[in-house]
Chains A and B, each alone.
Chain A
């Protein structure tokens, strides 16, 4: 996840700053539909149907009006993590051989399985990023609360969202001062100890910060209730979106059933 810390953008601003088309839709509906979408796509197994699902995710991306290059780059980042596991599958699943390397036989069955996982993972994560990741993080918290997520879990999430940027800046200040003192990371005890102290210092400061936050919240009479700033409304456009996406999903399930029968 290096790029998150090296790039200039703030980690959790996400895509929230873009006035994407999809932001006009009801956030609650987007969360529910994303969950439905994920469950349906994970249950599919035919490669053609999964390819169609990835196509559907691409369509969601185009429809949402998010910057597609940036989003696809993030998706590719995930692929770079799972590529080794996928590359191993053709060699570990027995079946009809394609070719052999150093006496190891790659099988078609393994290749199909790897393709199946890759298509599923990409289709789901792309839909998650376009439908939910396009929200303002705080809006996501409120929408989850409106969907009956436990209040304290939502509070915990909102605090995390709020302080990730703050603590990241603190981390960078500490790193800058280490750099100014001539710290250069390498593979040695000094580096690991220094990073350990860095983490320890961040935690100590975080605790002290949280004490000040609690005092400030008490001073303002915080009682633990979440006050929703916006009221969510399920409009006609939302209904249309739900109908369109549901029928697309139904078509996928139907295609899967047809392929399974044939």
Chain B
């Protein structure tokens, strides 16, 4: 899912950077000091969770879980996922530096949108109902991310159209797995800690 330096055209890179700064600003605004420990620890959990490899047939995929991040963090998912991407680029060499903005938008914007749309649904009804909505949200977030990656490639040049299509279709199994996993995770969270999604106002636990 990471795009590397040098592949995208300048307008896409600059547009992504500007949008990312806006998203981070929005996220930080909804993040008072009281909530920073929760956001930081969750950001670290999503970083660790993204290292988990889940088997699928003879191969395996690693998780993204941006849908879950959006459900738990709301707008704060934007800076949280950005920090994860920054650390990945700097310490593991994944992705790139100038494309950091584009990558952040591709992963964090779907997370935030899923959080805004699905969070009320996840909090309502029985744990099973919440889990089903959470699963749908998890799948939608990954689908939107893949679509965003495909669009950023296609905007940069016609030569990427094939690659963009391939990225999207090859990720359909990942969407299904993310949906199942997110659903199960929400189910457990609703059973173990029901108050997690209950609080009325806060975008964080």
A196 to B65, CA, bound (A): 10
Question: CB-CB < 8 A to B72: which residues of A?
Answer: 203
Task: Flag the segment in B101-109, B117-125, B159-167 that touches A.
Answer: B159-167
A202 to B47, CA, bound (A): 12
Residue of A whose beta carbon sits closest to that of B131: A196
- Minimum C-beta distance from B128 to chain A (A): 13
Residues of A in contact with B, size category: 35 or more
Contact B42 A116, beta carbon cutoff 8 Å: no
A195 at the interface (CB under 8 A from B): yes
Q: Tell me the total A-B contact number using a CB cutoff of 8 A.
A: 266
Question: CB-CB < 8 A to A121: which residues of B?
Answer: 4-7, 96
Residue of B whose beta carbon sits closest to that of A158: B40
Contact with B along A9-39 (1 / 0, CB 8 A): 0011010000000000000000000110011
Residue of A whose beta carbon sits closest to that of B7: A117
Question: CB-CB < 8 A to A207: which residues of B?
Answer: 38, 41-42, 193, 196, 205
Question: CB-CB < 8 A to A252: which residues of B?
Answer: none
B139 at the interface (CB under 8 A from A): no
Question: CB-CB < 8 A to A42: which residues of B?
Answer: 5-6, 13, 98
Contact B40 A210, beta carbon cutoff 8 Å: yes
Return the contact of B180 from the options A168, A189, A213 (Cβ within 8 A): A189
A133 to B186, CA, bound (A): 35
A240 at the interface (CB under 8 A from B): no
Contact with B along A33-77 (1 / 0, CB 8 A): 011001101100000000000000000000000000000001101
Contact A214 B187, beta carbon cutoff 8 Å: no
- Minimum C-beta distance from A8 to chain B (A): 15
- Minimum C-beta distance from B137 to chain A (A): 13
Total contacting residues, chain B, CB less than 8 A: 76
A182 at the interface (CB under 8 A from B): no
Residue of B whose beta carbon sits closest to that of A74: B93
Question: CB-CB < 8 A to B2: which residues of A?
Answer: 81
Of residues 184 through 233 on chain A, the ones whose CB sits less than 8 Å from some CB of chain B are: 185-187, 189, 191-204, 206-211, 213-214, 217, 222, 224
- Minimum C-beta distance from B20 to chain A (A): 12
Return the contact of A124 from the options B24, B97, B166, B187 (Cβ within 8 A): B97
Contact A124 B192, beta carbon cutoff 8 Å: no
Return the contact of A195 from the options B47, B87, B184, B196 (Cβ within 8 A): B184
A113 to B159, CA, bound (A): 10
Contact with B along A106-123 (1 / 0, CB 8 A): 000010010011011100
Of residues 156 through 187 on chain B, the ones whose CB sits less than 8 Å from some CB of chain A are: 158-163, 166, 177, 180-187
Contact A156 B80, beta carbon cutoff 8 Å: yes
Name the residue in B7, B163, B186 with the highest tally of chain A Cβ atoms < 10 Å from its Cβ: B7
Contact B45 A203, beta carbon cutoff 8 Å: yes
Contact with A along B30-56 (1 / 0, CB 8 A): 010110111111111101111111111
15 contacts between A and B (CB under 8 A): A11-B92, A77-B93, A78-B4, A92-B159, A132-B90, A155-B33, A155-B36, A157-B87, A161-B44, A163-B45, A167-B44, A191-B55, A195-B54, A196-B184, A204-B192
User: Apart from A137-B91, A153-B24, A187-B55, what 6 extra A-B contacts exist at CB < 8 Å?
Assistant: A14-B90, A153-B83, A156-B83, A157-B87, A187-B56, A210-B42
